[in-house]
Structures are given as C-alpha cells and as structure tokens.
Amino acid sequence: MTDESRQPRTRSSTRQRGFNLIELMIAILIGIFVSLMVVQYLVTSSRVFQRQGADSNLEQNASFAISYLSQFVRQAGTRDNFGTVVPFFLDDCDDGLNPCTSDGTGTASATDPATSDTIAVQMHPANGLDCTGQAFPAGDQLVNVFYIAASTEDPNINSLYCRGFNASSGARISDGVALIDGIDQMQILYGVADANERIYSYFDAARIPPVNGSAAQGWDRVRAVKIAILVSDGFDTQTENLDTRSYQLLDGPALGITDRTNRRVFSTSIAMNSKLL
C-alpha cells in the first residue's frame, strides 16, 4: 500500500455563515419597502373601487330620477275625454305653497330643501293612479307634486318625493313618498312658445310671462321643461378630499359645498307630448 492510502481521510464540511448586521438591516429595509408598496397598492385599489361604485350609484340614481320625472312631465296637461288643461297646477296644493308649482326660496345651500323648485303636474293618467300608486276618483283632475325634502330615515339626506293631490276636490290623495334618496337639489325651467309654436326662452316658475293679462294662459304656452338635479351618494364615502366644490344648476343659486360627499349635476330637457302639434 502506498503512503497516501495509509493516510486517514478527513471529513470535509461546509461552514455556514449568517447575515451580518448591515446585511440584516438592508434586508429589513427592503422588506419594509415592499410591504409599503403592497399596502399602497391595496389602498389605491380600494379607493378606485369605492369611487367607481359611488359614480355608478350616482348615475343609476340620476337616471331613475330623471326618467321618472320625464314620464310624468310628458303627460302634463292631459285629461282623457276633456282635451287639455293648463299643464302645471298654479294654486295651493295643501302644502302651503301657492302656487304649488314654484321656484325655490331657500338659502343657497344644497342641504336646504327649500332652495329646490317644486313642480305640480296636472294630468289624467289612464291607470287612474297617482305617482304613489293611490287611486283617485274617475273624472277628477289629478296633480302629482314632485319636490325635495329631508329623508324620513336620515334627516341628513335629501330625497326626491312625490304625492298626489285632487285638484277637483282640493284634497290630498296621498302623503309624500320618497322616490329616491340622495337628490340634494332640483332646479326647473319652462320653455315658453310664441304664437308660431317656437320656444323663444326658458323661464323659472316665478317669471312665466302672462298672456292677455292671464297667468294661466301664459302657463298654457309652456312646451318643454328643463330639469337639473344635484345627486349625491348620500353619505361620506371618503372618495373625495375635504375641499370646497361649486355646483350650478340652471338658474339656481351657486352652491359651494365643503365635505367629502361625492356629488354630480345631471340635467335633461323634456318635450310635453300633450302640447305637440
């Protein structure tokens, strides 16, 4: 045997070395940075999701409110088998407003329902029901009154309300029913036509020009209606910064609102079918 083969074999081992202090600190910093990036991504994603949800909710609420108002305004002035009448009710409809179709008189505040306009639509629908689903006597003149008021469930939220009024008997048909929450403001203008049936200007309810000295004849010249609503998500969603934002609805007062509530203005123009030639 050679001398090499007689030498004892040594066992090789791999020495393992841990992190030193500097390497450990760098690893911790990298971990913190990655964690912060992940948290920031999750927060941003959550806010985007909330904002998209709030915007979608606003659009749905606005679409429903405008669609619902439009279907009644288009029928303003109709009365089956009796021809047509003045499209909007001009007397007191048992709520202290005289006329019931009126321009808002409140202060320039989105949270003050008195700032919003009220519209009282005279009609005679084929189903014999008012806007709340209540029946009224056949042959009587129905008035559907649309207005903004504080929600009965949450006084901090405004809602679009409707109730029925019997113009023939001078009595309420139904109490106000909230149609949709989060409608902070409603402003309305009326398109008045000349003798050639051309709309020459839009006026608020307090400034409809009389015809031959008659306010009723002046209102009978209304051929279209413009409606603007200020829609909110109804609560603090944290999707907005605490900044003052300005809103303008038709001829209404300029509104400056400081909160975190998401709001948008929606508007439409409605032709009155009963007055189309």
Burial 95-130 (b: 16+ CB within 10 A, else e): bebebbbbbbeeeeebbbbebbbbbbbbbbbeeebb
Could you read off the pLDDT of 45-74 as tens digits, one per residue? 666 555 555 567 788 888 889 999 998 898
- The span from the CA of 104 to the CA of 156, in Å, is 19
Statement: residue 82 has pLDDT above 70: no
Could you read off the pLDDT of 147-206 as tens digits, one per residue? 999 888 777 788 999 999 998 888 888 888 999 888 988 999 999 998 888 899 999 999
Statement: residue 107 has pLDDT above 70: no
Angle 62-179-49 (CA atoms, 0-180°, nearest 5)? 45
Structure tokens at 88: 């909007």
**pLDDT of res. 55:** 64
Average pLDDT, the chain: 80
Structure tokens at 47: 């806010």
**pLDDT of res. 200:** 92
12: helix, coil or strand?
A: coil
Structure tokens at 128: 């014999």
Structure tokens at 121: 């639509």
Domain boundaries, the chain: 47-275
Question: Which CA distances in Å does 170 have to 137, 145, 269?
Answer: 13, 13, 30
75: helix, coil or strand?
A: coil
Q: For 128-155, what is the mean pLDDT?
A: 86
Could you read off the pLDDT of 195-243 as tens digits, one per residue? 888 899 999 999 999 988 888 888 888 999 999 999 987 555 555 667 7
**pLDDT of res. 50:** 59
